[in-house]
Structures are given as C-alpha cells and as structure tokens.
Amino acid sequence: MFENTTFCITTFGCQMNKHDAERLSGLMSSLGSVPVQTNAEADFSIFVTCCVREKADERLMGTVATMKNDPVRPGSPFGKRFVAIGGCIGQRDGQKLLDQLENADVVFGTHNMEALPHLLQEAIEGGMRRAELVDGRAEFHDDLPEDREHPWAAWLPITVGCNNFCTYCIVPYVRGRELSRPIEEIAQQAQAYVDAGVKEITLLGQNVNSYGRDLYGEPRFAQVLDVVSKTGVERIRFATSHPKDLTDEVIERFATLPNLMPALHLPAQSGSNRILKAMNRRYTVEHYRELIEKLRKVCPDIALSTDIIVGFPGETEEDFQATYDLVNEVGYNQVFTFIYSKREGTPAAEMQDDTPREVIQERFDRLVDLVQRNAERLNLEQNQAGVVLPVLVTGASKNDPSILAGKSPRNQTVHARVPQGMSASDFAGSIVDIRIDEAHTWYLWGTML
C-alpha cells in the first residue's frame, strides 16, 4: 500500500516534536514510503504540530488551508494528497480539526503515533476522515524506528509528559503525565547510539530534573548523566531543566563529567516573585539566583540560556523591571523571549489581564534589546581571539559551501573557511579544532587548524 509513495513531514514546536518527527519518518520509511523535501512532491503531508502559543496554532491552520488547491504530484498513485495532523494540536483538538480543515484527512495525537499507517490506510481505501486519540499511556514508549536528521546527533527522551502545571502552559494537557524511562534502557540506547557513530546525545524531557520520581520515588537525573557519560559519547546536552528541581548533585556533574557540555538552559520565566507565584513555578527569584551562583562556581565558563514570558496577566512595570534586572545581572548567552499567549483551558486564561498590548510590546522590545547587547558582550568576553575550540561540524553555512558551520562546546555557532579543494560536508559530523579570530553577537568566526 505504501510502496512507491512519498511523504513530507513538517515539524513545529520543541525538540520533543523533532524527535517524534524522526520516529514518524522512520515508521513511514519502514513501510516503503519515501521521504521528500516538499509537500508538492508528497502523497502524504504529515504535520507534527505545536500549540504552546497562539502563533504556533495559526501557522498550522494557515499552512494546511493554503495547501487546499495545490496540484497532486505527477505520478501520484491516488490522484489525491492525504493530509495527516499529529502532535500537540492533534491531541488537543482531535475531530475539531477535521471540521475546520476540509483538506485534512487524518488526525492523531501525541500518545499514538503508531496509529498513522492504519488511519492513512482507511483514508485511502475507504475515504474515511478520522481522528484517533488516546488519553495517555501507563508506561514510557519509544519503540518506533527513527530516521535521524543527522547521523551524528541523537535526541534521547528520558521522560515524556509534565506534572508541573505552570498556569500559562498547555503542555501538561497535551503531553500527559510525566513518565520516566528505566535507566537501564537509557544506558542501552545511549550505547547503541555511540556504537552507531553518534557524537552528541541530547537528553530530552519537559523537566529532566525530575527524572525518576515516578519510577524510583526520587529524582535520579544525576545518575542518568553518569550512565550516559560512561558510554564515552563525545558530547552530552539536555533540555529542559526546571529550576525548582535542579539539584546540587546535577550541578556538580558540570565539573566532574568531561563529556557534559558547559551549557545549560534554565528557564526563569520571570524575575518577580509575585508573578512566579501566579505562574505556579514554585521557586523564588532568590533561589534562581543561588542556582546560577552555584553553577558558575563549579563551571565558570558555563553558557546560560533561559526563557522569559513578558506580559503574564497582571504584570506591572515593577514586575517587568525585576525580570529585566534578573536578565541583566545573570548575563545569558541566549534568551528566548515570548509574549504571553492565552491558552484556553489553563488557569492563567481565567486571570484578569488588562495590560494594554502596546505596553507589553514596549516591554518586550526593551528586553530584546538588552538580550542582544548582553549576548554580544558575553560572546566577546568568553571567546578571546586566539582561543582554540573543538567544534562539532554540522555542515556548510547556509550561503556558502566553502564555509563550514558547527557548534562549540558552549553551543555557539562557529564559522570557518574550509581548506582549498574540500567542501564543508566532508567534515560534517567530525569535531575539528578552530582558532577563534572574531566574536560576533550570534556567531564566532575562526580558522581551521
């Protein structure tokens, strides 16, 4: 049924979705369908969706609606393109999506990706337009085959779901309760990746720091880092960390595990205790600052990044100023700034929200400006000209195949010219030494040694 067909996967949202997309790709490939780059060439257009903010919702609706009149691909065995929607919007909206998007054929959710083939089969054979969802699962599952985007980099989910219920956030409703994967399985999977040539493993979870609570009755993320480190993989990263569960044990691993990269994403969301409380974040800004201090003590050159929400319901100028001060004092290498977006069904959607849009936008712009200035300063300070960094090459720079792009241990983008007669792709997946010549706001420029 799927032989001689083609599929294109479009992914929105977080790393968990990127990993899910790699597994959906693996699943479709294992049935004989062939991945293609564009929807125009595809018999099956598959969307892995995100609903964390309104913009993400709008992007999906817009993209699918505009595909309505696109011609089917030449040689299509069906005379029709099938549109399948999965991921977080699929989980949230189910059947409603089929009512809203007349060219959508199939909807599935975050807990039942394996339903895609039979749903497509019913659509092909019986013209059925159907949504199939399950509420959640009792155990961790990660057993679909995967087509990894880069053979040298792997996402390794250690938990799925979230129990935190930050009041603004839809994720716990669409991803279900937190489930941890047994530590032996994580170790085995990590070893299999290393044996297959993977250089960088990124451990994934909505809150990796609470890993193990459901399985072992206590958090065991530090032990996960230990077993993954023992595989000898070159680079370990992880996302995301919740400040309330970041333990001293985990912090100390930044000093003791040579392959744990000196970079940490630690979402603060706000610098105001009043807002943190209303967000149900369950830490204070004092505690957050203490964590940063400890981290810098054990790993002075650590690159820190964070997420900040501007315009949470009831945010005053004073609250915003506290956030601004926190961002300024910590000095992040990168800050992901978001304007609060109301999500139906979350507690914050019921909170009084009367700050004018323009005021929020002005605060947002002020913060973005600060972030840029700080990133530039930090990049210059941390990367003095002449320093040599091991860079994991990801491929060619977008505009020029003779320039390579890669990542430093602190996860900064590094560019350098490749030697005459060679192309950047010759180095993809290897770690090369690059001497830094210049630091710019969002990248470093250097010379390959």
Of the candidates 103, 105, 84, 93, the residue with the CA atom closest to the CA atom of residue 21: 84
Note whether 2 and 32 are within 8 A (CB): yes
Give how far Cα 378 sits from Cα of 169, 301, 407, 442, Å.
31, 10, 16, 10
Which residue matches tokens 């941890």?
180
**Is the Cα torsion angle 14, 110, 351, 99 positive or negative in sign?**
positive
Note whether 175 and 157 are within 8 A (CB): no
What are the residues binding ligand F3S (CB under 6 A)? Answer: 13-14, 16-17, 50-52, 87-88, 170-171, 174-175
Nearer to ligand F3S, 43 or 93 (CB): 93
**Integer Cα distance of 271 and 324 in angstroms:** 7
Per rule CB under 6 A, is residue 343 in the interface with ligand SAH?
yes
Nearer to ligand F3S, 17 or 259 (CB): 17
**CB of residue 246 vs ligand SF4: minimum separation in angstroms?**
12
**Integer Cα distance of 193 and 151 in angstroms:** 9
Nearer to ligand SF4, 206 or 397 (CB): 206
| DSSP classification of residue 243 | G
How many contiguous H segments (helices) and E segments (strands) does the chain have? 14, 19
Note whether 382 and 392 are within 8 A (CB): no
Nearer to ligand F3S, 174 or 444 (CB): 174
Of the candidates 370, 296, 304, 333, the residue with the CA atom closest to the CA atom of residue 444: 333
Q: Pick one of ligand SAH, ligand SF4, ligand F3S, none as the site partner of residue 165 (Cβ within 5 to 8 A by kind).
A: ligand SF4
Among 64, 169, 208, 222, binds ligand SF4 (CB under 6 A): 169
**Integer Cα distance of 383 and 346 in angstroms:** 43
Per rule CB under 6 A, is residue 242 in the interface with ligand SF4?
yes
Residues in the chain: 449
Q: What angle do CA 162, 18, 184 make, to 5 degrees?
A: 60
Among 164, 189, 305, 374, binds ligand SF4 (CB under 6 A): 164
Q: Pick one of ligand SF4, ligand F3S, ligand SAH, none as the site partner of residue 39 (Cβ within 5 to 8 A by kind).
A: none
Structure tokens at 224: 């996960």
Nearer to ligand SAH, 240 or 383 (CB): 240
**CB of residue 250 vs ligand SF4: minimum separation in angstroms?**
16
Q: Pick one of ligand SAH, ligand SF4, ligand F3S, none as the site partner of residue 51 (Cβ within 5 to 8 A by kind).
A: ligand F3S
Residue nearest ligand SAH, CB atom distance: 307
Residues 302 to 321 in contact with ligand SAH, rule: CB under 6 A: 307, 309
Nearer to ligand SAH, 39 or 411 (CB): 411
Question: Residues 144-163 vs ligand SF4: string with x where CB under 6 A?
Answer: ------------------x-
Q: Pick one of ligand SAH, ligand SF4, ligand F3S, none as the site partner of residue 309 (Cβ within 5 to 8 A by kind).
A: ligand SAH
Note whether 347 and 167 are within 8 A (CB): yes
**Is the Cα torsion angle 13, 19, 21, 24 positive or negative in sign?**
negative
The residue count for binding ligand SAH (CB under 6 A) is: 17
**Integer Cα distance of 324 and 23 in angstroms:** 40
**Integer Cα distance of 429 and 14 in angstroms:** 23
Nearer to ligand SF4, 94 or 172 (CB): 172
Nearer to ligand SF4, 170 or 414 (CB): 170
**CB of residue 211 vs ligand SF4: minimum separation in angstroms?**
13
51 labelled ligand-binding? no
Neighbours of 377 (CB within 10 A): 13
| DSSP classification of residue 163 | -
**Integer Cα distance of 155 and 193 in angstroms:** 10
Nearer to ligand SAH, 266 or 444 (CB): 266
Q: Is 383 helix (H, G, I), strand (E, B) or coil?
A: coil
162 labelled ligand-binding? yes
Among 157, 267, 429, 446, binds ligand SAH (CB under 6 A): 267
Residues 207 to 236 in contact with ligand SAH, rule: CB under 6 A: 207
Q: What angle do CA 181, 184, 187 make, to 5 degrees?
A: 95
Per rule CB under 6 A, is residue 341 in the interface with ligand SF4?
no
Q: Pick one of ligand SF4, ligand F3S, ligand SAH, none as the site partner of residue 172 (Cβ within 5 to 8 A by kind).
A: ligand SF4
**CB of residue 269 vs ligand SF4: minimum separation in angstroms?**
7
Binding region for [4Fe-4S] cluster:
14, 50, 88, 162, 166, 169
User: Where on the chain is the footprint of ligand SAH (CB under 6 A)?
Assistant: 52-53, 168-169, 171, 206-207, 240, 242, 267, 269, 307, 309, 338, 340-341, 343
